[in-house]
Structure 1
Amino acid sequence: MAKRRNSHHLGTIEYIGPRPQAKKPQRRPNFLGGWVVLMIAAGAAWFFGKPLVPLLRAQNTVATVESADRLILELSPSAEFGERLAAMALQRTKTPSIYDTAYYQIAYPGGDIPGGGADGKTPKGKAEDLLVRSYRSLGIDLQVLIHEDMTKNFSAYPRLWPTSGPDSNIDHRRIQNLQRYFKHTGAEMAVDTKRPNKSEFKAGDVVVWMLAQGELHCGIVVPGPGDRRDEPWVVHDNGQGPKWENVLTEYQIHGHYRYTGQVGEVAKR
């Protein structure tokens, strides 16, 4: 048998693997279709998101010392008594206070309970004290006015305490007496206690609430901060010092008063 001659040339190499596929032609991207989708998505986001813009903006408007300063500067020179009273109430939110409901012997007239804290100068008091101090900043001394009215008409005031006559130390620091005095001077406003209308409250109005525990609480209506200027907020002290908050209808409203220091038609006793 003849021998196979060796070849110095490479033989055919057998290819093992997937069969080569014919190259498909590439499709040109449809830029118009992409833009249409983006425009539809943007339109939907605007349509559904637009109503939320005022809400988000309002949530970003918060009560700060800076916003209080701006509002005080705006309200203080107002010709409206209520706006000036609101400015005085807002001023009190800038000063820390120690909550104190105790009885004190104080001066008359112009008396106030002593301060506290490490230096003995930090204001002390409760919601009624905030109200009395705000009025006094405008030259109206509720301590004197209530004492004089109680001296003349003691039997017309609530008999909730073991006292046989007026007490200038404490009478103006009791919310029931403040309510009765405001009513006597014609300052009481009609209010739907079950469905109060916020639009009926103006800056400087006094609001009295009935809390869940059955206790009465009071505050002064003030404008809201920044973009919420047209909303009726309140300044009150519910145990943590004077606060500027959006809580006008958070509690059950028990009374609404607009006392400007001027005595109107006296209600029948």
Structure 2
Amino acid sequence: MIEVTRRTVLRTGLLAVASAVPAMSPAATIAPTWPSSLVQAARAQIGVTTRYDPTYVRLAYPGGDVPPDRGVCTDVVIRAYRQAFGLDLQKLLHEDMKANFAAYPKAWGMKAPDPNIDHRRVPNLAAYFTRRKTALSLTEDFASYRPGDLVTQMLPGNLTHIVIVSSKTSAEVPGRPLVIQNIGAGASEDDTLFAYQRTGHYRFSPVV
């Protein structure tokens, strides 16, 4: 009787402890990493942003954006960080530019920051990411480019460009990452990471 009583007490105690711990589903125990969230937010733009439109537009501030059906390569990055983390690169870059204007490129003859366009220019984003100490080495090693990384490129005609490294890889070359970008016909997922000169590599982790 004593042994049965002990077992009963132990079993009752374990059930009480178990009932005090909230049940967790498999999905809840494995939260997605920030790169996965960023890639998902970038990929969600495919089929929504269907045009490339570099027109200067007066934007709201903060949180300003052009209509979702259009934009440029930088808008893919800006929208992905906003959607995934509520992180506003328009505001972050503008505030840093106001405080450190001399640290940013002067290619457009700007004499003061402009929150309508500054964050939509690749060289400015590259300067911001570098100032945040997120720059990585440029290599030929596919494995160095992880999902969620940002890579700047120089397209023919000296056109600056930026992409988000995808979680998918090339069907032609095993292990070569695809990228999510707007290279002229809206948001798309393409095998062009090594098709153009790479000028910068960044891993900009949000605080989430």
Q: Say which structure, 1 or 2, has more relative contact order (CA 8 Å, 6+ apart).
A: 2
Cα deviations by residue, 1:101-134 (Å, 9 ceiling, x for unpaired) = 0111110000012x3xxxxxx6211101111111
Aligned partner of 1:234: which letter?
V
Report the equivalent of 2:180. Answer: 235
Indicate the percent of aligned positions where both proteins have the same amino acid.
Answer: 35
Report the equivalent of 1:209. Answer: 153
Any runs of at least 4 consecutive aligned residues in structure 1 with deviations exceeding 6 A, and if so which?
Answer: 225-229
- 1:44-123 residue pairs with structure 2 within 5 A? 78-113=31-66, 115=67, 123=69
Query: Who wins on radius of gyration, i.e. which is larger?
Result: 1
SS in 2 for 1:98: coil
1:160 aligns with 2:160: no
Distance 1:226 1:248, change over 3 A: closer
Report the equivalent of 1:254. Answer: 199
Q: Any conservation in 1 of the 2:142–2:175 contact (CA below 8 Å)?
A: no
Structure 1 residue 212: Cα displacement: 2.1
Report the equivalent of 1:179. Answer: 126
Out of 93, 97, 102, the position equivalent to 1:150 is 97
Aligned partner of 1:94: which letter?
G
- 1:186-225 residue pairs with structure 2 within 5 A? 186-192=133-139, 196-224=140-168
Cα deviations by residue, 1:198-222 (Å, 9 ceiling, x for unpaired) = 1101100001111121111111001
Structure 1 residue 236: Cα displacement: 0.7
Aligned partner of 2:160: which letter?
L
Structure 1 residue 162: Cα displacement: 2.2
Distance 1:222 1:78, change over 3 A: farther
TM-score normalised by the chain length of structure 2: 0.79
- Relative to its length, the structure with more strand (as a share) is 2
Cα distance in structure 1, aligned partners of 2:49 and 2:206: 27
TM-score normalised by the chain length of structure 1: 0.62
Q: What stretches of structure 1 of length at least 5 have no aligned partner?
A: 1-73, 116-121, 263-269
Cα distance in structure 2, aligned partners of 1:176 and 1:78: 33
Cα distance in structure 1, aligned partners of 2:74 and 2:174: 25
Cα deviations by residue, 1:21-57 (Å, 9 ceiling, x for unpaired) = xxxxxxxxxxxxxxxxxxxxxxxxxxxxxxxxxxxxx
The number of equivalent residue pairs is 177
Q: Any conservation in 2 of the 1:223–1:229 contact (CA below 8 Å)?
A: no
Q: What stretches of structure 2 of length at least 5 have no aligned partner?
A: 1-26
RMSD: 2.2
Structure 1 residue 261: Cα displacement: 2.3
